[in-house]
Amino acid sequence: MAQQEKPQAPQHIGIIMDGNGRWAKKRMLPRSAGHVQGAKTLRTIAEYARDRGVKYLTVYAFSTENWSRPKEEVDSLMDLLRKYLRDMLKEPTNHVNTRFIGDKTAFSPEIRELIDKVENLIDPEAKMVLQVALNYGGRDELVKSVRRIAQRVQQGQLSWDAIDEQTISEELYTASVPDPDLIIRPSGEYRTSNFLLWQSAYSEYVFMDGLLWPDFKPSDLDAAIEEYAGRNRRFGGI
């Protein structure tokens, strides 16, 4: 029997990488072990998404609310972030350009410098853009967007009655990127958790029960894409 052809991948996929801590707890390991495994999973899935034809992959790595976690865990996450960035500088993902969205000012000068270096590794033959959301929150993003628009109005650069959806979109971290078609959340949680609130107005969501992010495999991405392919996206129409 001939192998069934896989459905075409959507242009932009978002993933809420959830379940690292629970993955570690199930194995009686420190939560940091789950984050380490989650970072390895990200590398694997990013390369597979590129090969499936995904043009943009946005992953939720660290939210504006995650600073409230125990200091030991936050410090561990920052150490892991440094290592992840250094590894990317040594072995950049082939044909993937990486950018980081979120408020970077909260990070140490060392981490900000590493982020800049990774973002400057531009592959002219890149097949995919990987957006890593760090210190990111959808509400915070909108507040900052509104402040910038208000400043433009105050300075006479923009008329208040010229403000429309495009004006707001252009002030977001994702200004140059199309809105996500599909957002995936493993771990059995059924909420958006402040991820891409404006951009996901018409995104399709696939929630995956019984699956924690460190265990997420290419076949799970295939399953989510297949479910997405069966959806009827009407964007408010009939």
Residue 207 domain-assigned (yes or no): yes
Residue 61 domain-assigned (yes or no): yes
Q: How many Cβ atoms from other residues are within 10 Å of residue 233's Cβ?
A: 12
Residue 20 is a catalytic residue? no
Domain that holds residue 75: 12-137+179-229
Residue 164 domain-assigned (yes or no): no
- Residue pair 210/188 in contact by the 8 Å Cβ criterion: yes
CA distance 32 to 44: 19
- The number of folded domains in the chain is 1
E strand or H helix that includes residue 135: strand 128-136
Position 182 confidence tier, pLDDT thresholds 50, 70, 90: very high
E strand or H helix that includes residue 209: none
Position 4 confidence tier, pLDDT thresholds 50, 70, 90: confident
Residue 224 domain-assigned (yes or no): yes
**Which pLDDT score, from 0 to 100, does residue 93 have?**
67
- Per residue in 185-232, pLDDT tens? 999 999 999 999 999 999 999 999 999 999 999 999 999 999 999 987
Position 234 confidence tier, pLDDT thresholds 50, 70, 90: confident
Residue 191 domain-assigned (yes or no): yes
Residue 66 is a catalytic residue? yes
- Residue pair 76/35 in contact by the 8 Å Cβ criterion: yes
Average of per-residue pLDDT values in the chain: 94
Tell me the CATH number at 225: 3.40.1180.10
- Per residue in 84-115, pLDDT tens? 999 999 887 689 999 999 999 999 999 999 99
**Which pLDDT score, from 0 to 100, does residue 115 have?**
97
What percent of the chain is predicted at pLDDT more than 90? 90
**Residue 29, pLDDT above cutoff 90:** yes
Residue 173 domain-assigned (yes or no): no
Cα–Cα distances (Å) from 15 to 36, 193, 194, in that order, read 17, 12, 13
Whole-angstrom Cα Rg for the chain = 19
Q: Across residues 123-130, what is the average pLDDT? A: 94
| From 66, 123, 179, 222, the catalytic residue | 66
CA distance 78 to 34: 14
**Which pLDDT score, from 0 to 100, does residue 1 have?**
45
Residue 174 domain-assigned (yes or no): no
Q: Across residues 111-123, what is the average pLDDT? A: 95
Tally of CA atoms within 13 A in the half-sphere of 186 that contains its CB: 24
Residue 5 domain-assigned (yes or no): no
What percent of the chain is predicted at pLDDT more than 70? 96
Q: Pick the residue with more confidence: 5 or 130? A: 130
